Amino acid sequence: MQDSPETLGLRPLRPVSRRDALRYAAAASAAAGLGAASTAVGGATAAAAAPLLIDYAAHQIPAEHIRAAGYAGVVNYVSLSRPGTNFGAKPITRPYAESLTRAGLAIISNYQYGKPGGSAPSDFTRGFAGGVADARAAWQLHTAAGGGRSAPIFFSIDEDISRETWQTVALQWFLGINSVLGVQRTGVYGGIDVCHWAAVDGVIGNSRTPGRVWAWQTRAWSGNRVHPNAVLYQRIVATKSNPGPLVGGFEVDVNDVLAQDCGQWNLHP
């Protein structure tokens, strides 16, 4: 990926008010302070200088365990469990969110209901109408848990797709999401190409960190490349063959924070 922020065709960032600037500085300072212990997550992360976030679905991991392990916060689901499953962390609840906040942990919202080969199809395959329905469901769960009214929600494309599939199927899904939430509150999770296409096609919003957009990139399908405009990078993806670290006895994925404003609730009330 050779594209710079200037060549991606992104919308200009809106001016930041003095009030927003003060709120941003306070939230960013808190996140930076928590990041000091980020190297506690196994040898593979020892070189990481930025704060680290975790994501997980199976259980609500107690805030004190997350904090003790040195993480700055979580990406948590604002979606229900698929039929036949019962993920303890889906969706995030208000009491759990409040426990994370009391511990000084950042929270970011992600929506994923379906999955390739799962009991419900991948969300993006449902087109514009599916995007409308998913955005409404995500927003209801996000706000019920206390999520920020201006915070983005990251919507997942959890598989490798072609440019044609993006243009003919996934893009329509995102346009449906945009019709409910607006572009500025829409983010994407996916490989580097998906993040790039979403940015170029203008269906995800801008971070307040200059040059960054609401792109949460996974290492999968990215060829060890990191998008220059992403706000999060999922560096450790837990699988059976490559287990993730344990936090409070539960396996997690680990994400590098690439921007001070990565969509955390406390920065977007």
Type of residue at 246: L
Mean model confidence pLDDT for the chain? 87
The answer to whether 69 and 42 are in contact (CB under 8 A) is no
Interior CA angle at 244 toward 72 and 153, to 5°? 50
The CA distance from 130 to 124, in Å, is: 7
Domain 13-267, second-level architecture: Alpha-Beta Barrel (3.20)
**pLDDT tens digits for 174-215?**
999 999 999 999 999 999 999 999 999 999 999 999 999 999
Q: Give pLDDT, residue 50.
A: 81
**pLDDT tens digits for 101-145?**
999 999 999 999 999 999 999 999 999 999 999 999 999 999 999
- Domain ranges for the chain, please list them: 13-267
pLDDT band at 245 (very low <50, low <70, confident <90, very high): very high
